[in-house]
Structure 1
Amino acid sequence: MGLMKRFIGFIKKEFYHIFRDKRSLFILFGMPIAQIMLFGFAVTNEINNVDIAILDHSKDVTTKEIINKISASKYFSVSNYIRNEAEIETAFKKGKIKAVLVFEKDFSKKIGKENIATIQVIADATDPNTANTISNYTSAILQKYQQEINTTIKIPYQIIPKTRMVYNPELKSVFMFVPGVMTIILMLVSAMMTSISITREKELGTMEILLVSPLKPSQVIVGKVVPYIFLSIINAVIIVLLSIFVFKMPIQGSLILLGIESILFIITSLSLGILISTISASQQTAMMISLMALMLPTILLSGFIFPITSMPVVLQVISNIIPAKWFIIILKGIMLKGVGLSFVWKETLILVIMTLFFIGLSIKKYKIRLE
């Protein structure tokens, strides 16, 4: 009973240390909110009010109608009318214009006589994603206009592909970023903060004092880890609430399953943090290993931003050892597709095996006697 009181007292002391350190509190609670807001509002694949220029060689009724359609959309803002081809490069060099729409001569006549007329879309591909999106959006507006004017004309053998987007019909990029940011933050808080916390004790020489106390070495490690489990759960709740109420992201699946899977990933990350602390002699080393060995692979190889299937085979194989990859699959499945455990049991099992492996390796590596 006395040992349990000491253990609870030790956990309370750890909480006190965390809440006393203002920098730690900022990392723990400030960064998750800042990151989710940045990814939600600033980092986006969508375009709005993009400045485009028009080079209209025809200047007839049809071209004016099309220009009005384009400028009326929320995607484009017609900010410049160019007189000739020589001005296109100058407009791009100024940096404001992202695309130029070039209407050929006798546009209306050609549509009337030949049933075909050309609009050239010249896009600034210094940002390839934006250029591609501009091209797609322009094509969609032109297709819609074409359907409107074709209502009275019978065109034989016309094949119109119809696309339906499931799970994210509005193609909101925030739906892609929320699971990824949640993964990164839980990894950051759990792994990095735990490794720094344990390494701090080693660096200050207080770990030896803790190990000769009545507490078992395993209790010392658990005591240091428990506060971060609690704080990581709070972070997960904050992220889910922000995604629901700020970004209107629907949670299709079970919140209980989402909670259990999040706790599992937190424990996986904590076990990684403990493993990092076994090979780190200083807090600086622990932070560097956490950032280089965890953060960069989590961002680049987890499928958070870049699709894994588009990567070289070597990187696809390496991605399998990144815990974040499996957690993002679980999160997207539960949040967006509403799947149950029967669909994510394989990924869950992989995280459980990884956790046991990291804990086992930490016990083996630790230079302390586990009783």
Structure 2
Amino acid sequence: MKQFFIFVKKEFAHVLRDKKTLLILFGLPVAQILIFGFALTNEVKKSKIVIVDQAKDPASQAIITKVGVSQYFQIENTVANKRQIEDQFKQGKIKMAVVFPPYFNRDLLHQNKATIQVITDATDPNTANTLTNYFSAIVADYQAELNQTKAMPYRITTEMRMLYNPGLKGAPNFVPGVMALVLMLVCVMMTAISIVKEKETGTMEILLVSPFRPIMVILAKALPYLMLSLVNLCIILLVSVFVLQLPVNGSLLLLFAESTLFIITCLSLGLLISVKTESQQVAMLISLMGMLLPTVMFSGFMFPIENMPMGLQVLSNVIPAKWYYIIVKSIMIKGVGFSAIWKETFILVGITVVLLIISIKNFKIRLA
């Protein structure tokens, strides 16, 4: 054990004296958080919604039919009351809910006006705003059809309610995504380069023929980056809370636990890359380019996965950042507990176990 801690100390010294490594570890996260938090927006279509039709009259059914045939919405199901809506939002199953009040058609005919409540998940503000605009356009189209044959025009108003992010700020959507992106890039790249460097300089062979067991070499290499990544996480959260005004609504302990799991996943992936490569340049290229594109494309924070072809949707399931993004957004923005994210957590655990088994198995084969 004394040898193990000496090796860990050596790894810390190596990282802390390298200014380029420190810049990647701590400069990159802050820069990306600020850039993504303030500058970027996106839009979606074919979003899943639920309908609460308390009226069940011709007017409400006509609007529901128009919504159902629209390319912008996909009616997930119809719930009986408003209480069920919150559970659908917390589970991440829907992006919007539409509530028709009782006597909707009667109010429209007798008073020439009626109200529809639209509830959106504003953790993604651009999506929430876009969806409400699309729905308002559908209602306006239906209203125009009615007014063609009526002397006194009907007026249907929509009552908007933005859950979790009433101010429609961009940070609640991009901060969780950037957390996944930064931790993925930093952890994978640093781990892969660290081990490959030992192989290039020839010191890895010296370690492996020593009494120091190979598995301890791996753990000693990974532990400093795990601890530094947790420091990175603290920096990201501090910038998010105090600069971007994004509070952590859920359990901070649960967030750190899930982040630690994701970091271990990334370290396992970095270990696999290091086992399969022979030079730092190749390891860096695979880590940077090979991880950047899938994380940006398939995590869901830049481009809606539901808009992609089915093959790409299936492919996104093997991207760890996708599940971590869902977890972070659920904890930080929605304030949910473990009961709402257990599926994503176990998927991450499964990915981590598979990566570790493959990496260690290949590592031992290479040493034989």
TM-score (norm 1): 0.69
User: Hey, what does 1:198 align to over in structure 2?
Assistant: 195
Q: Secondary structure at the match of 1:169?
A: coil
Shift of 1:36: 0.8
Matched, 1:172 2:160: no
Superposed, which structure 2 residues align to 1:356-371 within 5 Å? 356-367=353-364
CA distance in 2, matches of 1:203, 1:299: 31
Superposed, which structure 2 residues align to 1:263-282 within 5 Å? 263-282=260-279
Shift of 1:41: 2.2
Shift of 1:45: 5.9
> What is the identity percentage for the equivalent residue pairs of Structure 1 and Structure 2?
61
CA distance in 1, matches of 2:365, 2:216: 12
User: Hey, what does 1:292 align to over in structure 2?
Assistant: 289
What is the one-letter code of the residue matched to 1:294? Answer: M
CA distance in 2, matches of 1:369, 1:197: 17
2:42·2:303 contact (CA, 8 Å) conserved in 1?
Answer: no
User: Hey, what does 2:212 align to over in structure 1?
Assistant: 215
CA distance in 2, matches of 1:336, 1:283: 38
Provide the aligned length of Structure 1 versus Structure 2: 270
Of the three residues 251, 256, 270, the one matched with 2:253 is: 256
User: Hey, what does 1:348 align to over in structure 2?
Assistant: 345
CA distance in 2, matches of 1:14, 1:365: 23
CA distance in 2, matches of 1:226, 1:284: 23
Matched, 1:329 2:291: no
1:217·1:369 contact (CA, 8 Å) conserved in 2?
Answer: no
Q: Secondary structure at the match of 1:161?
A: strand
CA distance in 1, matches of 2:313, 2:367: 37
User: Hey, what does 2:8 align to over in structure 1?
Assistant: 11
User: Hey, what does 1:243 align to over in structure 2?
Assistant: 240
CA distance in 2, matches of 1:256, 1:370: 39
Q: Summarize deviations over 1:153-207 as a string: whole Å, max 9, x none.
A: xx65311112211011111111111001111111111111100100111111111
Q: Secondary structure at the match of 1:230?
A: helix
Shift of 1:23: 0.5
What is the one-letter code of the residue matched to 1:245? Answer: F
CA distance in 2, matches of 1:340, 1:370: 43
Matched, 1:189 2:200: no
Q: Summarize deviations over 1:287-338 as a string: whole Å, max 9, x none.
A: 1111232111001111021111111111100000000000000001101111
Superposed, which structure 2 residues align to 1:302-341 within 5 Å? 302-341=299-338
2:295·2:319 contact (CA, 8 Å) conserved in 1?
Answer: yes
Superposed, which structure 2 residues align to 1:128-147 within 5 Å? none
Of the three residues 292, 298, 303, the one matched with 1:301 is: 298
Cα-Cα RMSD: 2.5
Q: Secondary structure at the match of 1:182?
A: helix
CA distance in 2, matches of 1:164, 1:183: 29
User: Hey, what does 1:125 align to over in structure 2?
Assistant: none
1:257·1:341 contact (CA, 8 Å) conserved in 2?
Answer: yes
Task: Identify unmatched segments of 5+ residues in structure 1.
Answer: 47-128, 144-154
Shift of 1:15: 0.3
CA distance in 1, matches of 2:301, 2:153: 45
Q: Summarize deviations over 1:58-102 as a string: whole Å, max 9, x none.
A: xxxxxxxxxxxxxxxxxxxxxxxxxxxxxxxxxxxxxxxxxxxxx
What is the one-letter code of the residue matched to 2:344? Answer: E
CA distance in 2, matches of 1:26, 1:269: 19
What is the one-letter code of the residue matched to 1:320? Answer: N
CA 315–250 in structure 1, closer or farther in 2 if over 3 Å, else same? same
Superposed, which structure 2 residues align to 1:36-51 within 5 Å? 36-44=33-41
Shift of 1:265: 0.2
What is the one-letter code of the residue matched to 1:204? Answer: T
1:44·1:174 contact (CA, 8 Å) conserved in 2?
Answer: no
What is the one-letter code of the residue matched to 1:34? Answer: A
2:33·2:175 contact (CA, 8 Å) conserved in 1?
Answer: yes
1:184·1:299 contact (CA, 8 Å) conserved in 2?
Answer: yes
CA distance in 2, matches of 1:349, 1:307: 23
Shift of 1:214: 2.1
What is the one-letter code of the residue matched to 1:189? Answer: V
* Structure 1 stretch displaced more, 272-281 or 34-43: 34-43
Task: Identify unmatched segments of 5+ residues in structure 2.
Answer: 44-125, 141-151
What is the one-letter code of the residue matched to 2:171? Answer: V
